[in-house]
Amino acid sequence: MIAHLIDVRSIPTWLRHREIFAAFDALRPGEELQLSTDHEPRPLRFEFDRQREGRFVWLQRQHSDDDWVVTIRRIDSEGRDGSLEDFLGRCAALEGCSDETRAAFVANALERSIPHREALNEQGSQWPYLGFVREGTLGMIAGSANGRERLLFEFLPFETFGELSLVDGGTMLGRVAPPFGAARIVAVPRNVVLKQMESDIGLVRSIALLCAQRGRALAERLEFLAGRSTVERVARALLPYAPPDQGLAPVLSSARRMSQSQLAIAAGTVREVAARALFELENAGAIELEGGRIARIDRAKLSSFL
């Protein structure tokens, strides 16, 4: 049940998180806070992971490049035991699914850890599972004939991956690996998911929505990579890690671990070109580097490059 609506686009960026957390803390368990925003709210998501761990379920939908809707449901943290069943119960992909589907997923799920930068699969290979990120962050990276690599998607905790190949039985669009440190995943075999889809319309709707969101995000990302300057692409790759504060402020911890080579992949370019773009952004006061890595970002100045 949605108890509170906030359109954060009308709120100064440096005040947004404070108002959102106050509204969330006023919710009772089971109630929801819905936000409308003009960008992917990754800094907010990481703040919730850090400050309200185990107390919320996060659902976000992208309607266009500058139109996102986020629903945050408050849950009772008491009785949470960190079990596989508890984890899957907080995953957006299983919202509206039957108890039978959840039980089947728990009974057949496989868990594994993935070391830093070790690939879970190869681009163009079969990976017959629906994956869930339990810990860490995963990225899907696609290579090309000219040797240049591009980051297609990032997957955060409680998010899924492998939806497209799950539905059509095709190959993976890129290799999946954790870019910033080790990760842990839960994988449900494709045949188990498809069997449950035969009788669970809630699961069918969820998978269809996930596939639609992946297609929308991929089309917009490829258009951006093809039609923008390198400085714009680097600024866009950094924006999700920019804090909402006024002026230069420390970046999210994952961005501090991002090398210039990783940033180049996210921006669809090569390291040397990305380094020149960073130099231009730093001269404009949009970022501050320490040891060649991003230390602080001025969100307003960075946004002016887009």
- Residue 286 is given by DSSP the state S
CA distance 104 to 48: 29
Same domain for 89 and 205, yes or no, is yes
Same domain for 265 and 150, yes or no, is no
Cα separations in angstroms, 183 against 79, 117, 180: 25, 9, 9
Same domain for 239 and 130, yes or no, is no
**Which pLDDT score is estimated for 197?**
97
Q: Mind listing the pLDDT tens digit of every residue in the chain (306 residues)?
A: 899 999 999 998 889 999 999 999 999 999 999 999 988 888 899 889 889 988 999 999 999 888 999 999 999 876 567 899 999 988 989 988 999 999 999 999 999 999 988 999 999 999 999 999 999 999 999 987 777 788 899 999 999 999 999 999 999 999 999 988 899 999 999 999 999 999 999 999 999 999 999 999 898 888 877 778 899 999 988 988 888 888 898 887 777 888 888 888 888 888 899 999 999 999 999 999 998 889 999 998 998 988
Look at the block and give the residue holding tokens 């910033």.
Answer: 180
Same domain for 61 and 123, yes or no, is no
CA distance 276 to 260: 11
Distance of CA 196 to the CA centre of its chain: 26
Determine how many CB atoms are found less than 10 A away from the CB of residue 56.
19
Distance of CA 39 to the CA centre of its chain: 12
Domain presence at residue 205: yes
Domain presence at residue 46: yes
Same domain for 222 and 233, yes or no, is no
Same domain for 101 and 217, yes or no, is yes
CATH number at residue 286: 1.10.10.10
Quote helix, strand, coil % in the chain, to nearest 5: 40, 25, 35
Same domain for 114 and 70, yes or no, is no
Amino acid at 60: Q
**Which pLDDT score is estimated for 185?**
97
Q: Largest Cα–Cα distance in the chain? A: 58
**Which pLDDT score is estimated for 24?**
97
**Which pLDDT score is estimated for 292?**
86
Domain presence at residue 68: yes
Domain presence at residue 79: no
- Residue 292 is given by DSSP the state T
Same domain for 222 and 235, yes or no, is no
* Sign of the C-alpha dihedral computed for residues 87, 106, 183 and 140 taken in this order: negative
- Residue 283 is given by DSSP the state H
Domain presence at residue 262: yes
Domain presence at residue 285: yes
**Which pLDDT score is estimated for 306?**
82
Residues whose CB is less than 8 angstroms from the CB of residue 48 and which lie 6 or more positions away in sequence, other chains included:
24, 56, 58, 72
Same domain for 36 and 107, yes or no, is no
End of a domain among 50, 74, 98?
A: 74
Q: Which domain holds residue 284?
A: 229-303
CATH number at residue 23: 3.30.110.40
End of a domain among 165, 199, 226?
A: 226
Same domain for 50 and 62, yes or no, is yes
End of a domain among 208, 226, 244?
A: 226
Same domain for 256 and 167, yes or no, is no
Same domain for 202 and 117, yes or no, is yes
CA distance 144 to 131: 24
The total number of structural domains that make up the chain: 3
Domain presence at residue 192: yes
- Residue 147 is given by DSSP the state S
CATH number at residue 166: 2.60.120.10
Domain presence at residue 90: yes
